[in-house]
Amino acid sequence: MLELKNVEKNKYLNNINISINEGEICYTNSPLLIPIFLHLIKINSGEILYFKRTDKKSFIKTLNTIGYSKELNYKNKKHSVIEYLKYSNSFYSPNYEENINNYLNIFSLDPHKLIVDLDLCEQKKLTLINALYHDPKIIMLVDPFKNADYNLRLTLTKVLYEQKRKGSAILYYSKELEQNLITDKAFIIDNKELINIDINKLKSYKRITIHTNTLDTKKLENINIYNLDIDKLYISFISDSPIDDIIKKLGYYTIDDIYITNPNLKEIIEICKQN
């Protein structure tokens, strides 16, 4: 559906090859991939393909089928939510007013609220509706879960699964991989290069922190652990082993003292490189 072939961008990307197919949800940690796909920034060499075509004229037509959401940077203070969406809708034919109303309901956003009065979560809702109402075949989202409250996270996840089911290709960028969203592919760029990491492997890494001063560190030898950090009051490490296994091997059953969090992407990349 959309591809990058041998793309180079001076200091940031080197020989990047990417393909996104129908019904795939893809993640990238590079803020450049979406702008490159949208021709918002130039590349030094390589090709950008939509439906196997590279020419710019067909790209303008393809924009009919692309939904794009980024942080709201719209400073017309007099516009209300509905005015903004109607203006956006004026670029497309046919008219998607019914879809707009549906999405306003789904995301529970007041259509008559002025843009200037929207809080960050509502602004996020507005940009997401703007990306979705025209039934796009390709959806590109920048930081879709940033500033999103619990309800919005839940709604967005549902909406994206629905779009995936309909066959839309979804590419999202954020600094960290969204653990709650089933992602089919991850395009991790490190040091200009695309790193080949399996998405399930990527999600399997957990940071485990145990608040204890009595744990026998010899027990840790039986577990796959990385980035170990030992303090008087706690031990903390990253592991890709199942949690049950870890707890069994450590012989530690007081679950109240165990905290499981997602390690940051940089740490995972380092571990993957070591392996």
Shortest CB 262 distance to other proteins, Å: 20
Using alpha carbons only, what angle is made at residue 158 by residues 130 and 164, rounded to the nearest 5 degrees? 80
Nearest distance from C-beta of residue 268 to other proteins, angstroms = 18
Closest distance between other proteins and the C-beta of residue 212, in Å?
36
- Enumerate residues 254-273 that contact other proteins by CB under 8 A: none
Structure tokens at 27: 């993640």
Q: Which is nearer to other proteins, 114 or 225 (CB)?
A: 114
CA triple 178-183-184, angle to 5 deg: 160
Count of residues in contact with other proteins, rule CB under 8 A: 25
Going by DSSP bridges, is the β-strand pair 234-239/193-195 parallel, antiparallel, or unpaired?
unpaired
Q: Tokens in use for 26?
A: 């893809």
Q: Which is nearer to other proteins, 70 or 207 (CB)?
A: 70
Q: Which is nearer to other proteins, 38 or 220 (CB)?
A: 38
Least separation in angstroms between residue 8's CB and other proteins is 16
Nearer Cβ to other proteins (70/206): 70
Site for other proteins in 31-90 (CB under 8 A): 31-32, 35, 38-42, 60-61, 63-64, 66, 68, 70, 73-76, 87-88, 90
Adjacent-strand bridge partners of 141: 69, 172
Q: Based on the shown chain and the rule CB under 8 A, indicate whether residue 165 belongs to the binding site for other proteins.
A: no
Contacts of residues 31-38 at CB distance under 8 Å and 24 or more positions apart, as own/partner, are 31/142, 31/173, 32/189, 33/4, 33/171, 33/173, 33/187, 33/189, 34/68, 34/140, 34/141, 34/142, 34/171, 34/173, 36/4, 36/7, 36/9, 37/2, 37/4, 37/140, 37/171, 38/66, 38/68, 38/140
Restricted to residues 91-120, the positions that interact with other proteins (CB under 8 A) are: 91-92
Residues that bind other proteins (CB under 8 A): 12, 31-32, 35, 38-42, 60-61, 63-64, 66, 68, 70, 73-76, 87-88, 90-92
